[in-house]
Structure formats: structure tokens, C-alpha cells
Structure 1
Amino acid sequence: MTAPAGNPPVIVVMGVSGSGKSTVGRMLAQRLGREFGDADDLHSPGNVDKMGRGVPLTDEDRWPWLREVARWIEDRVAANVPAVMACSALRREYRRLLIPRPHEVRLVYLKGDRDLIARRMAARRGHFFKPDLLDSQFRDLEPPGPDEDPITVDAVDPAEEVVRRIVEALDADG
């Protein structure tokens, strides 16, 4: 399986916790016939424990994790393996690490307001990320700017509709 011409090998689906990154990313990967990766699976046990106790991660906690995510992405790019990675990628400096060459990685931003995300998180079961950490996510969030050429999709819509809009935007890119 190789990435189709005109589309970057890797698509990064970003947003705050609870925006639907994993659900949308998994569905998008399936629809496009791509490998799926979830950055949550690459967290260290210490990070998972910290978030499970309701303690926000610091940059010191995040950088080793982000380097693992960047390595996963780079491995797929180098092998020209089409993939989708779900990752919060909250800050611009994190995205610079994850997406050093924008022509090889496309950014999708799932945008949602705090009330919507809080309702989703309250309904979510079995996830290590505690809902009381949501404010720290919005505090750290730096929405991607036009220079990052994101596909921005409103997270309020059902996942199937979000995926449809992403696929339309990718098709429009060529």
C-alpha cells in the first residue's frame, strides 16, 4: 500500500481531548484504506498515570511523547505508507515537530467549543483522560493558522459527516 498521488502519506487529525480525534481518525483511515495510529497509545505509563489522576501534562512530560509520535509519522512518510494519526498537537511548536515538511503530512483540525467537548467527555467511559483536565487543553490550544494549511472541520457534526467533509477537502486538494 502506497500513498496516492496528490495526497500526503500521513494525515494528522488534531484537537483537544474529546473532539473526536480517535473516532474520526479511525473512520477516516478505514475509508481511505490507510493505517491508523493513535498518539494516546504512545504515552508513557507515567503520563497516563498523571492524566488519570487529573494532573495536566507539562511540556517536559509531552516532549518525549511527541518525539515518539513524530517518529511514527516519519516512519510512514519514509516508507510512503498512507496513514492517519490522531494526536492532540495542541501547540504550534508541537506541530512543527510532527509536521516538518507540510507537503508530506496534512493537518486536520477538529474544532469544537468547550461546552460541546465537556458534554462528550462527561459521557465517555474508560478513558484515562479526566474531564477536569479540559480547561488545560483549551488553555494550551493554539488553533492552526492559515500558514499551516489545515482542513478545519466543526466537531459538532456526527463523525460520519466530519469524515465526509475531510475526504471532500482532500479530494479538492488533488
Structure 2
Amino acid sequence: MDHSVKAMTSPRILSRMVNPHRFENDELEQLYQRYICKLQHSSVAAVVALFVILTGILANLSFVYHQTATAQNVYHAAHCILFALLLGFLHTRFMQDNYLLWVCYVVLFFLATFCALALPIFPAGLTAKVAAEGTWQVVFVIFLAYAMMPLKSWIAAVFGLLLCGAHFAVVTIFAKDFSQLIWQQ
């Protein structure tokens, strides 16, 4: 009886691309998935907690600076409340292991809307229409999606490429101040 732990290599190319590393023993694979799910759960909770803090600070700073409700500070406040509720859900018994991937996709959606709201598409009085507007948000979100979210690498890479492409397209259309600096991005 062989009790050694071996990673399975499937002879089919498509199966190897979808599941490149699996254990031959199904019980061992389930045990590994339960263990790794706890680690992934904590990293998703850390991303959500980080965005609760970030959006709370951004909402307060924007409100103090503008002294009125703007689209950005209302959205940041709503985003902070939404992510606080999601963080509460992550720490309850209702959060099951099979929900984690869907929670990651919901977080990715709201991270993308966070970046979309930072783009220079608003009237000139609210923000400067420069190419650098929204760049730090895009870079920060891509870093979090790739480094802290338990997603496959190709999903994080496609997400990053789509965000960068959308940012560059919006900047080339709407950013009119300092247009000679666009090519440097």
C-alpha cells in the first residue's frame, strides 16, 4: 500500500491547464483545500479591511476639502459602509468556503468601480483633468488583486490589463491639461 503524496499530472492538456496541481488522493485534496481556504479567507478579509479604512479616510478628506457632498465622497462613504458589511459577513458563520471565490469577484467589481470613479471624467471644477488622475488607484488595486486576492494568476493579469487599458483610453479622451505628458504614462 503506497501512502506517498504525489501531485497528479493528467495526460490531457486541457485538464493540466485548468488544474495543474492536484493530489491523487481525493481526501488529501479536500484536506488541503480546507487548510488553504482559511489562509485565503484571511487574505480576503485583510483586503476588505484595508479598503474599509482607505475609503473611510478618502470620504472624510474629500468632504472636508469640498465642504459639500460630491459624487466621489458619497461613493467612498457608501463603499466604506458596503465593505464594512462585507467584512462583517466574512467573520460570521454564514460565510462558507464555497462562497469565497464569489466574494473575491464581488470585491474585484467594487475595486474596479473604485478605480473608475477616480478617472478624470468629471467636470473641470471638481478635479484636474490630467493624465495622472486615478493612476495610484489603478496601481494599488492591481497590486492588491495580484498579491493578496486568492485568484488565479491569469484572472489577476486580465483584470490588471483591462484596468490599465480602460485608464489609458479614458485619459487619452478626457484628459486635456498637460496633454504632452500622456505618452509618458
Asked if TM exceeds 0.5, the reply is no
Structure having greater relative contact order (Cα 8 Å, sep ≥ 6): 1
In proportion to residue count, which structure has more helix?
2
The two structures have a TM-score, normalised by structure 2, of: 0.28
Structure having the higher Rg: 2
The two structures have a TM-score, normalised by structure 1, of: 0.29
